[in-house]
A and B are shown apart, each in its own frame.
Chain A
Amino acid sequence: MTESARTTGSHGTAKGNEAIALQDVTFRWPRSPSPVLDIAALQVDRGERVFVAGPSGSGKTTLLNLLAGVTVPKSGRVEILGQTTSAMSGAKRDRFRADHIGLIFQLFNLIPYLSVIENVVLPCHFAKSRREKACQRSGSTEAEALRLLGHLELDDPSVLKRSVTELSVGQQQRVAAARALIGEPEIAIADEPTSSLDADLREAFVKLLFAECDRQKTTLVFVSHDRSLATLFDRAISLPDINRAGN
């Protein structure tokens, strides 16, 4: 690891240039005596591309749920883009996520009964800000979807016409990436997005993702157990190293 988490230990978090700031965060499942996650501090700067390495069982899913605001910590603070999401109500966190965060999962990212374009523009239906940004950029959400798919080398009309279930896994993941990035969310979180891809496709996918994140100045948190990709990132964090719970 080049550098583990920058731990400040202080309560004063830097204002403005941090996309993500975790402070003394612990999380425990109900009826479970010990926490699954206990992180003293974790910061990610705006525009930074961070690789989070963690084997399964290291609290990865919990960390992602906390970052995305699906769950709130038992104690401590989660600040995203300067706002304390850990203090928000569920509905407010939902809205915050819709507006500011794009997500990519390992598998089955797409809704089977929607077309490629319909899948990509999904977030624009739930977040006005992202719809407006997409329209500002390309005139319409569909045009913006096509533009993003083009950047991800997926604008072949024959591909677009296919049902999403007929796409290869690599193609599906690129559609998911386009969806995560439409409407320029400030943060993109990818959970093992390359695990189902062949080795030679992984790097290509990551590079395409980087290019688009750079263009939009999107902060990228990339979680994977495949450390071979870590060197491509600005910074790599080992989750077992910063998670004081377990192990």
Chain B
Amino acid sequence: MFVLTLALKSLKNRSFTVGLTVLSIALSVTLLLGVERIRRETKESFTNSISDTELIVGGRSGAIQLLLYSVFRIGSATNNISWESARDIAALPEVEWTIPISLGDSHQGYRVMGTTTDYFEYFRYGRDRALAFDRGEEFDDVFDAVLGAEVAFALGYELDDEIIIAHGAGQVNLVEHADKPFRIVGILRPTGTPVDRTVHVSLEGIEAIHIDWRDGAPPIPGLEISADRARRMRLRPQQVTAVLVGLESRISTFTVQRSVNEYPEEALLAIIPGVALQELWTLMGVAERSLLAVSGLVVLVGLSGMLTALLTSLNERRREMAILRSVGARPLHIFTAIVGEAGVVTVMGVVTGIAMLYGSLFVARPIIADRLGLYLEIGGISRYEWVLIGAICVAGVGIGFIPGYRSYRYSLADGMTIRV
């Protein structure tokens, strides 16, 4: 169609200002799609804070509460479960592996978690990702500790540094287990999950620092047990806070869940983490939606930038339109040319924006993975993103109707009068 060719040539003639408009649209498209990607990945990462774990078993309380302390290290357990119960669960025929965890202590605000070396073997997060060591190795001695990536980074710890564990959680006025320091033997790679903010020690270590405590109170002077003595005591855990359970087959999840919930010797609660995580995520839906709303507004700003550019160029181009009218162009032709121009600018902006998105993803991916442990998948454009892109294109052409209509009115009023 000739008027569109004309519109293209006119755009080319004003390539600098058009380029700026295209760039502003491109930036807003990049931002919108980028936010959408990060939102999706955050959700993915959150709901996969723990994966391949079919059940989490803890003392009887609420499902969200159990999830919060066992996965996110938020809050604390009201009831622990006995080591015997944990052993019984591990012995169930459907169970492939169990990871007992013991919480309650902290270091500089970071939670300390007692567990077994099975943790490093079986724990999975994200899309079936296993824990990996950045430096060092699993704990072996009673007083060995393995740090999450953020703990090591934030506190500047290195291998072989010694840390003191405090009793309870929090950052101030805690009684410290100063007589039994732990040696850092391993630092994990970032995972983007609460693992990054956890100090891992063995269950025996947790037992050892409390060996001389009585009823939650520090040892009476004279009754202390030294670290060396504790190490030789061949300690066995009495209690754990929760048990992560992996099953031979996912099909038996509900059977095992029921039998745990009906365990006669102790009041236990088994939850399916995937379901609970989804529930928890919906609580954060407001934040998620407002993030998207903000980037939607950015697109609106980009498009109104185009509207401004079109409207200001319109006044300069009244002469051009009068010439076109004089050679036989009808007002509808002028309208089509302006709307077509808006459409071309929008599409160019969207295409540039998508190119910029992928470019920045490639650049930012290693940095984000390294710093945040958020592993961005660089996939194709999702159906939802296509909807967003389509909406932007429609909005761009729709916005073109405003200057299009104005120029239509101009060309009717001006006729062929050349305004200089």
Task: Give the B-binding residues of A (Cβ under 8 A).
Answer: 61, 64-65, 68, 70-71, 90-91, 94-95, 97-99, 103, 105-114, 122-123, 125-127, 179
Contact = CB atoms under 8 A, between A and B. Distances in A.
A68 B331 CA distance: 15
Contacts of A106: 418
A90 B412 contact: yes
Contact of B12 (A94, A109, A110, A113): A113
Given A126-B329, A126-B330, 5 more contacts: A68-B326, A70-B325, A70-B416, A98-B330, A103-B416
Interface string B1-22: 0100000011011000000000
Given A90-B412, A103-B326, A127-B328, A113 B9 contact: yes
Per CB-CB distance, the 3 closest pairs between chain A and chain B, nearest first, are A98-B328, A126-B328, A113-B13
26 contacts: A64-B416, A65-B417, A68-B415, A71-B415, A90-B412, A94-B331, A95-B330, A97-B328, A98-B330, A99-B328, A103-B327, A105-B326, A105-B418, A107-B420, A108-B319, A108-B418, A110-B323, A111-B323, A111-B324, A112-B320, A113-B9, A125-B2, A126-B2, A126-B327, A127-B328, A179-B327
Nearest to B323: A111
A127 B328 CA distance: 7
Interface string B401-420: 00000000000100111101
Contacts of B320: 111-112
A174 to B, nearest CB: 16
Given A113-B10, A113-B12, A114-B9, A123 B328 contact: yes
Contacts of A64: 416
Best-surrounded residue of A61, A65, A91, A122 (most CB of chain B within 10 A): A122
Contacts of B325: 70
Contacts of B324: 111, 122
Contacts of A68: 326, 415-416
Nearest to A121: B327
A52 B228 CA distance: 118
B237 to A, nearest CB: 81
B365 interface: no
B333 interface: yes
A54 to B, nearest CB: 16
B420 A70 contact: no
B334 to A, nearest CB: 11
Majority SS at the chain B contact face = helix
A109 B323 CA distance: 6
A94 B391 CA distance: 35
B387 to A, nearest CB: 36
B417 A94 contact: no
Contacts of B333: 126
Nearest to B12: A113
A103 B13 CA distance: 25
A94 B12 CA distance: 28
A112 B12 CA distance: 11
B327 A123 contact: yes
Contacts of A113: 9-10, 12-13
Contacts of B13: 112-113
Contacts of A94: 328, 330-331
A131 B412 CA distance: 25
Contacts of B326: 68, 103, 105
Contacts of A109: 323
Interface string B311-327: 00000000110011111
A21 B299 CA distance: 56
Interface string B376-420: 000000000000000000000000000000000000100111101
A62 to B, nearest CB: 10
B415 A70 contact: yes
Contacts of A107: 418, 420
B359 to A, nearest CB: 31
A105 B416 CA distance: 9
Best-surrounded residue of B9, B10, B323, B418 (most CB of chain A within 10 A): B323
A95 B9 CA distance: 24
Nearest to B412: A90
B340 to A, nearest CB: 15
A111 B332 CA distance: 19
A216 B391 CA distance: 53
Contacts of A111: 320, 323-324
Interface in B27-54: none
A7 B333 CA distance: 39
A121 B319 CA distance: 18
